[in-house]
Amino acid sequence: MSQNDAPDDESTDGVAELTDIHFVGPATAEVLADVEFDATGIVDKSVSYEMLVEAGVNPGVATRLRKEHSLHWSFGGSDENEDSLERRSEKVRGLQDNERAWVAASSGDWESNEPETADVTSGDWTPTGEASTDGSGAAEEAEAAWRERSKPDPVTDVPGVDKRTAEILANGGVTSVRSLATADPEHVADSLGLDRERVAEWRDAARDLA
């Protein structure tokens, strides 16, 4: 074996070593073999989810690696959770329309039921004679109350879902309690870079409210 062959052999050995890590396949190993950090640090948690994604690892694979090896989202200091949520929110906003539609479809968006509501409100609505003639405005109040009840409950009504999390979920088409209650936790979590178990907890809590 010549000296010129040595780098290729070392690269091959590095890829083989990386594929020994759970959830690191050949394609991912090829990506990690060229990064500046030691990718074998996945095992001892010295590599973060953010480092993997920025290195070119598929976000879905990075999510599985983060969950399997309990990796940090990032090493951003005391504001790590806040900063990483903002970064993930910005990244998700870059989803192409077809990807956004796919996530929305997997969540059973409540808007699919809007035609029923339209049928109820599109015809002539006639208030009772008493309400329309006594000048009390009861008919208008009743209609306003009905419209208010017909509005979808905001996803922030679900325990554990704050405004920032709601913004991230909205980028995936999950905008109401009902849409979260019918969401597929695995698809939503992988697409938005969220923890599957946490999304499943939100989904279950939403079902209790829906």
Task: Using the predicted structure, report yes or no on whether residue 62 has a pLDDT greater than 80.
Answer: yes
Write the pLDDT tens digit of every residue in 98-124. 555 555 555 554 444 555 554 445 455
d(CA 105, CA 83): 29
> Six-digit token pair at 167?
């913004």
- Please report the sign of the dihedral spanned by the C-alpha atoms of residue 143, residue 146, residue 151, residue 156: positive
How confident is residue 200, by pLDDT bands cut at 50, 70 and 90?
Answer: very high
Rounded to two decimals, the pTM is 0.35
The count of C-alpha atoms lying within 13 angstroms of the C-alpha of 172, restricted to the half-sphere facing its C-beta, is 29
